[in-house]
A = this chain, B = another copy of it.
């Protein structure tokens, strides 16, 4: 049976009412009308302009609170070309940074800092998901993104040039194949590689090998450079068969270890260029009946939370994610505010954290450090 009253209320409004969210959100003009001022004055209050009489300002601010006024970012963006959004570009699904523990800390610190500066991060991916309108450069242009943070650029990214043409400020972490138009943030990979080599020499290891990250990436090359140079300085060889390529992820750590164990002279120390690979290395060695650190010492890179939780706890190079994230945020915000700023290159020192996987720390020390975990 059709209802008796033929005049149906406006459907969307009725639905809204039914769900209880018919609260009208005022516009700037309505707010201005209520306050008996012009839209321009309200806008000035919103933007903290000096040119407003204090009592007028207070009256408007009070009314904003009372009406629960929130300015519409889209309108402001349309007018000013500033969106308050910063794009964080993740790489392809094949190497999901988001799943790499190291990047999480970096990202959280970064997010926190840019939020304080009034920006919000929007997550995009370098991966092309079929249709062209899913390319990140297109998305980021649509959204009028104010700045871009790149997590581990890889050389083959054909869109980098497209991105450069937009003129949007860019900060890249551990960049490879990105021009000087982008700021760069990185750990001191050369010094870090050297510190690992020196440690392994100091504890008396004779046959020192390494499983690298993706060979074409900057962190991988630079760590190897410092590592090899320090070994040479100590009068040690680094034969080619002791350098096996990995990709930073766990599986390649297993494969690399297997490969090293087939050598006529297997190493007595392995430097894996990520903690994920190092942990896989320990696991593989133990499966083969080898003891860590007695038979083979293992060193990782990153100092992810898990590093101290594996058995034995992992000696590793700590990257200062808080500083890295903070600097990335500060640099990007500075570049947004002053477009003439020359993009800097910042290098952050690392710390070698010695634990049991190289025989370095006692059980008591380590138990204490575990309690530092959140």
Name A's B-contacting residues (CB within 8 A): 12, 15-16, 19-21, 23, 25, 70-75, 77-78, 83-85, 93-94, 96, 98-99, 101, 104-105, 107-108, 111-112, 115-116, 118, 120-125, 129-130, 133-134, 138-139, 141-144, 164-167, 181, 249-251, 254, 279-280, 282-283, 286-287, 305-306, 309-311, 339-340, 363, 367, 370-371, 373-374
Contact = CB atoms under 8 A, between A and B. Distances in A.
B167 A19 contact: yes
Given A99-B305, A167-B16, A371 B74 contact: no
A72 B370 contact: no
6 A-B pairs with the lowest CB-CB distances in the bound complex, closest first: A21-B167, A74-B77, A73-B142, A70-B141, A74-B78, A251-B373
8 contacts: A21-B165, A98-B104, A98-B107, A99-B108, A101-B101, A120-B139, A122-B122, A283-B309
A367 B139 contact: no
A143 B374 contact: no
A274 to B, nearest CB: 13
Interface of A is mostly: helix
Contacts of A98: 104, 107-108
A360 B303 CA distance: 31
B306 A279 contact: yes
A179 to B, nearest CB: 11
A271 to B, nearest CB: 18
A138 B68 CA distance: 10
A218 B330 CA distance: 38
Nearest to A142: B73
Contacts of A286: 311
A85 B122 contact: yes
